[in-house]
Structure 1
């Protein structure tokens, strides 16, 4: 049984019913969803790291150190997108989902697209 750990930027308090945070680096927290055999097996929340200009890799490394393999995000700059690629975290564009549950369901159904350079926001680290 393969388990995949997904992180979704979330509003407080986190969890499946929380809204998806509009931008990964400035979200309240992350909802971590472990998926096994295509089904949700575990849900946790993880506090976000302080995000200062130029400090894009802090949240990237924080998620990597917590076993995240997939990130569902609505917005990010080019630098963190490249950072996620460096640490082996695959990023999908999930910004249209109203809730964390909706984002996870969209990922599990295969309807989310990989985040690409054209979807990044300006400033590199906003």
Structure 2
């Protein structure tokens, strides 16, 4: 399974967790199998101007992401992730990408629901 995580430069497991999925520096993509990290790579982020807040949603789906770990997003992209088959989990307290991934693997993250959404734009 491929997990996408909003990240700060330069990405990777040691990178700081990106505060808002649509305004992050880049995405760290982690392949997990049998509860273990198998591969780590990065994807550049895409600007909102090309398709609004749904552009990053479709971009991650096109790159095979099935799980997104996030701390902030609006209701519209959350619904978009649900529509393209990407499950979103709330990892707002994670200091690093690696910590978020480990929490997910350990079953410590809850599904991202409407109560976690913001007004959009990182607010």
Sort the TM-score into its range (normalised by shorter chain): over 0.9
Deviations 1:54-74 (A, max 9, x none): 701100000000000000000
Aligned: 1:13 with 2:10: yes
Runs of 5+ unmatched residues, structure 2: none
Distance in 1 between the 2:31 and 2:3 partners? 6
State the match for 1:43 in structure 2. Answer: 40
Give the TM-score taking structure 2 as reference length: 0.95
How many angstroms does 1:122 deviate by? 1.3
Q: What CA deviation, in whole Å up to 9, does each residue of 1:1-35 have, x standing for no partner?
A: xxx10000000010000000000000000000000
Q: Show structure 1 runs of 4+ deviating over 3 A.
A: none
Matching residue within 101, 110, 113 for 1:113: 110
Matches within 5 A, 1:68-83: 68-83=65-80
In angstroms, what is the RMSD of aligned CA positions? 1.3
SS at match of 1:103: helix
Deviation at 1:52, TM superposition (A): 3.4
The within-5 A match list for 1:80-99 is 80-99=77-96
Structure 1 unaligned regions, length at least 5 = none
For 2:59, the equivalent position in structure 1 comes to: 62
Q: TM-score, normalised by structure 1?
A: 0.93
